[in-house]
Amino acid sequence: MTNLKFIFIFTFLFCISLTGIAQTDKIIDSLETQYQNCLDKGEYMFGCTKKFYSQMDSMLNVVYLKLRSTLDTTQKVKLRIDQRTWLVKRDTYFKKTLKEFKTKNPDNSPYGSAFGAQDDAMFMYDDNAKFVKDRVLKLIKRLKT
CA 18, CA 12: separation in Å to the nearest integer? Answer: 10
Q: How far is CA 93 from CA 49, 53, 122, 125, in A?
A: 17, 14, 16, 12
Is 114:42 a contact under the CB 8 Å cutoff? Answer: no
Higher pLDDT, residue 9 or 25: 25
Sign of the torsion angle spanned by Cα atoms 131, 136, 137, 142 = positive
Q: What is the mean pLDDT of the chain?
A: 87
* pLDDT of 20 strictly over 90: no
Q: What letter does residue 71 receive in the DSSP assignment?
A: S
Kindly tell me if the per-residue pLDDT of 124 is higher than 80: yes
pTM, whole model, 2 decimals?
A: 0.83
- Please state, in angstroms and as integers, the Cα–Cα distance from residue 46 to each residue in 63, 89, 103, 124, 136, following that order: 26, 24, 19, 10, 22
Phi, psi of 19, deg, nearest 5: -80, -20
Mean pLDDT confidence for 133-145 = 93
The Cα 140–Cα 59 span in angstroms is 10
Q: Where are the alpha helices (DSSP H) in 43-113?
A: 45-69, 73-104
pLDDT computed for residue 66 by the predictor: 93
Share of the chain above pLDDT 70, in %: 83
Residue scoring higher pLDDT (20 or 132)? 132
Q: Is the pLDDT of residue 45 over 80?
A: yes
